[in-house]
Structure 1
Amino acid sequence: MVDGPGARVRAAVVGTGLIGGSVLLRMHAAGVDVTGWDPDEDTRRRARRMGVPVPDLLVEAVADRDVVFLCGPLPTLPATLVEVAAMTGDRCVLTDVGSTKEEVAAFAATRGLTDRFVPGHPMAGTDRAGLTAAGPDLLTGAAWVLCPAPGPATAAFRWLAGLLVDLFEARVVPMSPAEHDSAAALASHVPHLLAGALAGAVQRAPLRDAILALAAGSFSDGTRVAGTPAERTANMLLGNRQRVLRELAEVTSFLDDLAVALHAGDAPALTARYDEARASRLALRDRRFDAYDRRFPLDGDHVAEVSWLYELGVAGGHLTGLRVGADTVSYTARRPAAD
């Protein structure tokens, strides 16, 4: 990895679909020395027409890089991680953008890659796919989960977190892989199930065309992610299956409460449940944050540092900056203000 903020970063992006392509285009626009690579020849040609260096061979794209973003389909990630790790030096930081983290983090540990692999997940996207849907601003300001590990791996996390803040203005959310997968199940994965169910029911409805003619914001917002490629959604759901099923049961329980109240004509019960739901929606819209700094010794086992980072993420906080000094690392963080 590079040694300091003044050093010129050399990056590569492997897999240039929606997210990988957006990472690539943002870094290219920022003047970073970045190469891309994709297994699809047409996609490589399209990226070259955008002015981005894209070799035909993977090894040429990742050689002598400081950081490589692994952005291919979720099932291909373990094999790609091993392949790219063998092509890069020990100081090259590896990260991914997959929607589940525990499985790939455990896999990296079995291959001795924890010290330089930092699992990641930018929380952004659209209902389209591919490089043609990518854009340099798609990930700007996004919540970007990173999963730090104590020991030498902490240095890779610090460096990568600083890069994401500087280049993407990211709100870096530090979490353990297990906590990420639990939170993402309800924040992202179950919504794909609900969107698919609503859109699928309309597709089967006798009055489908009339329904679509009347569909306004509530239908459009509620079904947006149903427009994402089906295979990508299936990979995401299967990659976090047990947690998604557990959280789906909680959603189903709440929906059952609504159905029981509706069946009984119980207006107070319906109102109470929607007041509860509205509180969550308002909390999302009107969140306030307090800013503060935290400093840790640069060397050591970093257990306290990583524990604090995990606690920050679980509390709904994020990092907005960090600085590595001669003896310490200083974090600038924001966390939800007390009600």
Structure 2
Amino acid sequence: MTDDVTGPGRYVGLRVAVVGTGLIGGSVLLRLRDAGLDVTGWDPDRATREHARRQGVAAPETLDEAVAGRDVVFLCGPLPTLPGTLLRVAGATAPECVLTDVGSTKVELADFARRHGLTDRFVPGHPMAGAASAGLTAATAALLDDAAWVLCPAPGPATDAFRRLAALVVALFRARVVPLSPEVHDTAAALASHVPHLLAGALAGAVQRAPLRDTVLGLAAGSFRDGTRVAGTPATRTANMLLGNRERVLGGLAAVTAYLDELAEALRAGDVAALTARYGEAAAARAALLGRSLRTDVRAFPAAGDHAAEVAWLRELGAAGGHLSGCRVDAGTVSYTAHLPT
């Protein structure tokens, strides 16, 4: 596997497998196919495997066949299945094969990998992208373009696996690699992704129960459509995500509920100034999202060693809202191209 990120062509010859070919896994699969890589896909559903073959992707009948001899394996099944799948794939691949996942929570799986001695080759991952539809039929090769793709670096031998995977994700998916610890990822994802699913479900569910449901839906415009989009996500997938990060989601929900209570109290009291102030705060966050300005920084570290300083810097970069657009190992040095908020 190359350590350069100058172009997808450098990855021709890399052998990759995607285990679990739903929306995200299927989109990973299709992008790798389009990049000309030797890629196999496997899914427990026979019809999905047959659909993959119609898309021009090899889809063996067994998981072991799909991952045999691979250089990288993406684990893309439902969250509850990932620990068992990780163990099985690790046993069916060579020790130098890099393993990663795309699950929406990271702490539990990272801890599981550590307890089973897989930290040196498993890099927890989470591309922040999705759609209301599910399955390989909804997947597209462009779904992950410019996505924030979290990868969780660990010191020691695992740092090499992180470097290789970060370079691949940037080059082949044109994604923004966000290096985070599993704990920071799960805390941030609670507010960035998981609580919004709760709010969307609550709003859509309240309308579903409303006596004037059809009237409301007849009037619904952009704010309702945008606010309830993820309520259309398959319910089992949403439940798995919320339960997999339960305590952090509840903490994030408590913060949102407290803010909502402030809005409700100001409304109840007819307090124009308080309402205006609270929406001013909210508007500042929205403006920061839409108008982020970034500066570029290049950092270099020794390629050998325990990599503690390198991993500390990477995690600080991600926690500060930054991302990577390049990773190159050359002449005993690893260089990162980083982008941080100004």
Give TM-score, length-normalised by structure 2.
0.97
1:129-278 to structure 2, matched below 5 A, reads 129-278=134-283
1:326 positional shift: 1.8
Q: What SS does the aligned partner of 1:253 have?
A: helix
Report matched runs for 1:68-83 at 5 Å. Answer: 68-83=73-88
Aligned match for 2:298, one of 276, 293, 299: 293
Structure 2 residue matching 1:296: 3-state secondary structure: strand
* Secondary structure of residue in 2 paired with 1:323: strand
Measure how far apart 1:4 and its partner are.
4.8
How far residue 21 of structure 1 moved from its aligned partner, in angstroms, is: 0.1
**CA deviation profile, 1:49-73 (whole Å, cap 9, x unmatched):** 1111101111111000000000000
- 3-state SS of paired residue (2:69): coil
* Letter matched to residue 282 of structure 1: A
Q: CA deviation at 1:304?
A: 0.2
2:56 to 47, 51, 56: 51
From 127, 133, 137, give the equivalent of 1:128.
Answer: 133
- 3-state SS of 1:243 partner: helix
State the AA in 2 paired with 1:44. Answer: R
2:338 is aligned with 1:333: yes
Q: CA deviation at 1:141?
A: 1.0
Residue deviations 1:248-280 (CA, integer Å, cap 9, x gap) = 000000000000000000011000000000000
- Aligned-partner Cα distance in 1 for 2:2–2:185: 29
- Counterpart-to-counterpart distance in 1, 2:78 and 2:128: 16
What CA RMSD, in Å, does the superposition of the two structures yield over aligned residues? 0.8
User: Aligned partners of 1:322 and 1:20: how far apart in 2?
Assistant: 24
Amino acid at match of 1:22: S
Q: How many residues align?
A: 336
Indicate whether 1:321 and 2:326 are aligned: yes
Deviation >2 Å, runs of 4+: 2-8
Provide the rounded CA distance (Å) in 1 between the counterparts of 2:144 and 2:313.
Answer: 26
Q: Which runs of 5 or more residues in structure 1 are unaligned?
A: none
Partner SS state of residue 11, structure 1: strand
User: What is the Cα deviation at residue 3 of structure 1?
Assistant: 5.6
User: Per chain length, whose mean CA-contact separation is higher, i.e. which structure has more relative contact order (CA < 8 Å, sep 6+)?
Assistant: 2
Q: AA paired with 1:205?
A: A
Which amino acid in the other structure matches residue 243 of structure 1? R
What's the CA shift for 1:292? Answer: 1.0
CA distance in 1, matches of 2:87, 2:157: 19
Letter in 2 for 1:257: E
- Residue identity over aligned pairs, in percent, reads 71
Q: Using the alignment, how far apart are the partners of 2:50 and 2:24 within structure 1?
A: 18
Structure 2, unmatched stretches of 5+, are 5-9
